[in-house]
Every structure is written in structure tokens, then in C-alpha cells.
Structure 1
Amino acid sequence: MITITAVIRAKPGHEATMRDALVAVAAHVAANEPETIGFFISQSETEPGLFTTYERFTDQAAMDRHNTSAPVATFFGIAKPILDGEVILVTSQEVSATLR
């Protein structure tokens, strides 16, 4: 399993726009990407402009399809002007997972 963890910061006042853009990607994933096993979005309770995603893919090809999809491109078109710093991406091989 390949995973991506992303740390994304929105400029103050743009938290709702960032959240909505991320949720739109998640909706696309749920409807169209069966090989994306999980797409989780979190928003910090103490820093509302701080978002993290955790994405799980069956393999490299699934991750590549997701990352080159039109909804991801649309997301970055919306997000780039409202980013507060660079997006931090960590791509990993999953070692263990506990799901309930």
C-alpha cells in the first residue's frame, strides 16, 4: 500500500474555500477511484487554516492516476493562490494499519 500524507495551510480567511476544495476531491475519489483505498481529510481544531490529508492507494499506478486527475488539478488551481507556504507531501509504503 502506498500512502501520501499532505500538510496544507490556507491563508487566514480562506479556510472554508480550502476545506470545500479538499472535500470536492474526496467526493471524486469516492465516486471514481476504487483503487484509492482511503482519502481522509482533517482540519486542525486549534489552527483552522491547517489541513492534513492521508491517502491510501493500492499501488503506484493508482496513486499516479489520482495525482494526474482533473479534480486534483482543479484543487491545486483553487488552492495555489490561498496557500500559506508550500504543501508538505510525504509519500510512504504503509507498514501497518488498524481499521475498525
Structure 2
Amino acid sequence: MHTLTAIIRARKGSEDLVRAELLKVGVFAAANEPGTVGFFVAQDPDDPCLFTTYERFTDKAAMDAHNNGAASQGFFAAAGERLDGDVTVVTAVEVWPE
């Protein structure tokens, strides 16, 4: 299983827009990306500008398709100007459970 974790910081006052756009990505992935096994979004309760995603894919090709797809590109088109700095991305291969 391939994974991607993204750490995303919204500019102050843009938390609601960034949250809404991330949720759109999740809805799209669930409905249209069979290779996306899970797309989880979390928002820090103490710092509502801070979001993390945890994304699971059947393989690297599915991860690449998601990252280059309409939903991900749409997120950056809609929220890109509202982000505070670069998105930190960590990709990995799950080692447990096997």
C-alpha cells in the first residue's frame, strides 16, 4: 500500500475555504478513484489553520493518478493562494500490517 501524508497550513482567515476544498478532494476520490483506498483529512483543534491528510493507494500509479488528477489540481487552483507556505509531503510504503 502506498501512502501520502500532507501537512497543509492555511493563511489566517482561510481555514474554512481550505477545509472545504480538501473535503471536495475526498468526496471526488471516493467516487472516482478506485485506486485511492482512503483519503483522511484532519484539522488541528488548537490551530485551525493546520491540516493533515493521510492518503492510501493501491500502488504508485494510483497515487500518481490522484496527485495529477482533477480533484488535486482543483484543490491547488482554488486554495493555492490561501495557503501559508509550501505543503510538506511525505510518501511511503506501508510496512504494517502487511
Instruction: Tell whether the structures are fold-level matches, with TM greater than 0.5.
Output: yes
Equivalent residue letter for 1:39: F
| C-alpha deviation, 1:11, in angstroms | 0.3
Does residue 25 of structure 2 align to residue 30 of structure 1?
A: no
* Uncovered stretches (5+) of structure 2, i.e. residues with no partner: none
| C-alpha deviation, 1:36, in angstroms | 0.6
**Root-mean-square deviation (Å):** 0.8
Does residue 1 of structure 2 align to residue 4 of structure 1?
A: no
Equivalent residue letter for 2:2: I
- Determine what percentage of the aligned residue pairs are the same residue: 53
- Partner residue, 2:45: 45
Equivalent residue letter for 1:20: A
Stretches of 4+ moved more than 3 A in 1? Answer: none
Distance 1:13 1:32 in 2: 31
Equivalent residue letter for 1:9: R
| C-alpha deviation, 1:5, in angstroms | 0.3
Q: Kindly tell me the number of residue pairs found equivalent between the two proteins.
A: 97
The secondary structure found in structure 1 opposite 2:31 is helix
Equivalent residue letter for 1:51: F
The secondary structure found in structure 1 opposite 2:12 is coil
| C-alpha deviation, 1:15, in angstroms | 0.3
* Uncovered stretches (5+) of structure 1, i.e. residues with no partner: none
Residues 43-89 of structure 1, C-alpha deviation per residue, up to 9 Å, x if partnerless? Answer: 00100000000000000110111011111111001121011111000
